[in-house]
């Protein structure tokens, strides 16, 4: 059976300086055909949990919440402890998914229990912004991430087309829906598409001309490709 017959899902990353603009961008993404929106809360000028909950709760069942530290490619300037406290508070809107970095999840395991209680599913993410490590390293990261959450997310940087195959090979160790793995960069575009065949619950797209990661395709481009091959 073709995995894409179950209708591939797209998640659009949304970055904005205030929640009103974030909400408008999210509505646009959904109108263009995205299934989910990832709220990059670290892009907000100020993260006020009560305002975030009030502004974004209507999209709770279709959103991924994340609050990235600078060391993880985000813009949050505070400490890790303040970051996890804010994420815990905002998760009271009961999002479909919450995305937490692997090192953060390992450091704040008691807080992770509350995050899991507030969220539909918790994604434990890990990024390599420089390259794609060895298969054994990738598998080790997958096992650690999967032990701490519902879904492991591994995103590397492709330096060659061959790196796509290296990352996609992780799916033979996973169950359908418990791994999101692909490559960033121009060489990694293939893996952003093929991960859906391999078992990823969704892949990422962007609003037109608003990619938040190297190699990210727009919603319309991604939908066109998926329609053509499915």
Q: Catalytic amino acids?
A: 127, 153
Question: Which whole-number Å values give the CA distances from 159 to 111, 129, 155, in the listed order?
Answer: 36, 11, 13
Parallel, antiparallel or unpaired: strands 10-14 and 36-40: parallel
What is the rounded CA–CA span in Å between residue 17 and residue 196? Answer: 31
Q: 140-155 burial, b if ≥16 CB within 10 A, otherwise e?
A: ebbebbbebbbbbbbb
What is the C-alpha separation between 148 and 99, in angstroms, rounded?
A: 12
The two three-digit tokens of residue 143, written as one number = 């096992």
């Amino acid at each position: 059976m073709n995995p894409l017959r179950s209708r591939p899902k797209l998640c659009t990353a949304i970055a904005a300086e205030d929640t009103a603009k974030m909400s408008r961008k999210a509505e646009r993404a959904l109108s263009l055909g995205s299934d989910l929106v990832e709220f990059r809360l670290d892009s907000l000028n100020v993260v006020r949990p009560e305002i975030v909950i009030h502004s974004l709760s209507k999209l709770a069942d279709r959103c991924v919440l994340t609050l990235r530290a600078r060391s993880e490619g985000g813009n949050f300037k505070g400490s890790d402890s303040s970051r996890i406290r804010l994420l815990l508070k905002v998760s009271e809107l009961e999002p479909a998914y919450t995305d937490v970095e692997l090192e953060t999840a390992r450091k704040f395991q008691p807080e992770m229990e509350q995050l899991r209680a507030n969220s539909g599913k918790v994604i434990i993410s890990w990024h390599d912004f420089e390259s794609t490590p060895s298969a054994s390293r990738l598998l080790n990261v997958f096992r650690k991430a999967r032990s701490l959450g519902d879904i492991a997310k591994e995103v590397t940087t492709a330096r060659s087309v061959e790196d796509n195959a290296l990352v996609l090979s992780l799916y033979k160790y996973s169950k359908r829906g418990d791994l999101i793995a692909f490559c960033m960069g121009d060489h990694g575009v293939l893996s952003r598409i093929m991960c859906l065949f391999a078992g990823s619950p969704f892949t990422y797209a962007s609003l037109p001309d608003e990619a938040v990661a190297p190699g990210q395709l727009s919603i319309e481009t991604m939908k066109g490709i998926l329609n053509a091959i499915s």
